[in-house]
Structure 1
Amino acid sequence: MIRRGSTLERSLLLKFMQRTYQDLFPNKDFSHLEQTVKQYFSSDTPLWWVEEEGEQGEQGEQGDKGTRGQGDKGNNYTQFPIPNSQFPIACLWVGNAIDQVQGNRHAHIFILYVVPEHRRRGIGTALMRYVENWAIQRGDRQIGLQVFQSNKPALNLYNQLGYQTQSLWMVKFLSAEK
């Protein structure tokens, strides 16, 4: 079930952000992400959670792709078949960006995270399709995201969904010593 989050869920969003980075870089401290959430999380940057329903039998009819409901048309929930739990099993946090070539506002995915034991079940794909429909409804012409080059499963997902590299983010580490 996809549920629209609220700004009151700041600490849960932070936990999910820290977990996604710890999955990729296990021996690092990501306490600094609190500042990112503090600075960018607002009612203008929507958050969605995937939660399991209390009972399997309550899920209703399922579509071909395993999802029901598209976009954010007043429903807070989109359903798809997953097992039971009390804690969100995935999240999607989206902000706004400006296309530097065209000057148009568009959706930018800050984080898409599915807890490891629930991966490879179509949840990431369902969330991506959900946010694409949401972005289309609000008039966006593209969606941007940033992904680590080492995150092969995420790269595979985005490539399968038709995302293409538009630019490369390059960094050079500088020494503080002189």
Structure 2
Amino acid sequence: MYLVIGLGNPGDEYRHTRHNVGFDVIDLMAGKYNISVNRIKFKGMCGETNIAGEKVILLKPNTYMNLSGESVREAASFYKILSENIIIIYDDISLDVGKLRIRSKGSAGGHNGIKSIISNMNSDIFPRIKIGVGQPERSLIPYVLGRFSSEDRILVEKTFEAGIKAVETLIAKGCTEAMNEFNGFIA
């Protein structure tokens, strides 16, 4: 069993912002697998599907980014999911728009959602798919809460598709295979 979490902030004002790329990927996965991510549970919205013969819970925490770990901990605890089977999808300012990077573990790298997950799970060992949103020229918060230019939106949507394929590869073949296949991805 796998838990796939897209990080973001709830509410229409945050829809399609740089900080909500995780939500965008979960929404596209739900469409691809013809499921709804609308069940209110684990301080978030979730839905269930099968990928590569594995039961997969898709989750969008409703806790706001900085408390994402509470939602992840509740779902992981309820389903007794190993941290290696918890896949987090989120924005990364250290990657250019159109790039994607997969890691099997590591620090939060300054990302408050990941800090919250590490703190709540007492572990930094969980696969993560980082979606590049580019570096801010000035202030970080207005940048990540802002929307992409139309050109960047086209690139990031290609990255979302690669992100879905990366999740599928992670589940079917493991993290190493997914890293080998997708860490060089550029939209």
**TM norm structure 1:** 0.31
Structure of greater relative contact order (alpha carbons < 8 Å, 6+ residues apart): 2
Higher helix share: 2
Max radius of gyration: which structure?
1
**TM norm structure 2:** 0.30
